[in-house]
Amino acid sequence: MIYKLQPLTTLFSNILEQRWPKNFNTKDEKSSSIEGMAADGGQDLITLTTDKLSADRVSESVTCPSCGAVSLFIGTTRDNFEGKKVIRLEYEAYSPMAESELRKICREIRTKWPSVRHINIQHRLGVVPITEASVIIGISSPHRRDSLEAVKYCIDTLKATVPIWKKVSKSLRWDRLKKMCHQKKNSLHFVCVI
């Protein structure tokens, strides 16, 4: 069987058009950031970027004097997938919808854990080499339980609902395509393994 390689946004365009309006732009810019304020003055920071992510910057952005806990999740590119050697990951996003879904996650976090003060979600797009961060989530709260639970909820929900696609390169020659589509209830998350 021969597979024709296409950009993920092209490959899944029919699904996207059924789920979201046609006026959404799927082309990614170098970086896009959204900053919002919660009702209590807390910040919701969302960034999709091709730049290298920094855990220090995320941690600093959610630190505040009234919070005794800053919880971070850092998702990095590992060197293996399904027992095979991985060379790199590459991410594409349907940016407008991804940002909308990330804002929704922030609202849900604030509903479930009202003491959460600041939220920063950064996801890298494009090529992400081995050991570099693909996603960093930082959440602050007065006590550790809320920020730890909120970070876990955030990454689990992001992977289940946010339209970001991951392409895994398992060798220098991209001559074998194994397509895996993970769909959960009301979600859209695809992984293409090359």
Q: Is 39 helix (H, G, I), strand (E, B) or coil?
A: coil
**Is 144 annotated in some ligand binding site?**
yes
Residue 81, amino acid: F
Q: What angle do CA 174, 28, 26 make, to 5 degrees?
A: 90
Please report which helix (H) or strand (E) contains residue 123, including its range.
strand 118-124
**Is 118 annotated in some ligand binding site?**
no
Report yes or no: 67 and 115 within 8 Å, Cβ to Cβ: no
Report yes or no: 71 and 148 within 8 Å, Cβ to Cβ: yes
pLDDT digits (tens, 9 = 90+) for 149-178: 999 999 999 999 999 999 988 654 433 333
Q: What are phi and psi of 180, to 5 degrees?
A: -125, 125
With a cut of 60, say whether residue 47 has pLDDT above it: yes
Q: How far apart are CA 176 and CA 65, in angstroms?
A: 52
Q: What pTM, to 2 d.p., does this model score?
A: 0.73
Residues forming beta bridges with residue 166, ordered by sequence position: 91, 191
Q: Is 155 helix (H, G, I), strand (E, B) or coil?
A: helix
pLDDT digits (tens, 9 = 90+) for 114-149: 999 999 999 999 999 999 999 999 999 999 999 999
Residue with tokens 């602050």: 140
Domain architecture of the chain: domains with CATH: 35-193 (3.90.1170.40)
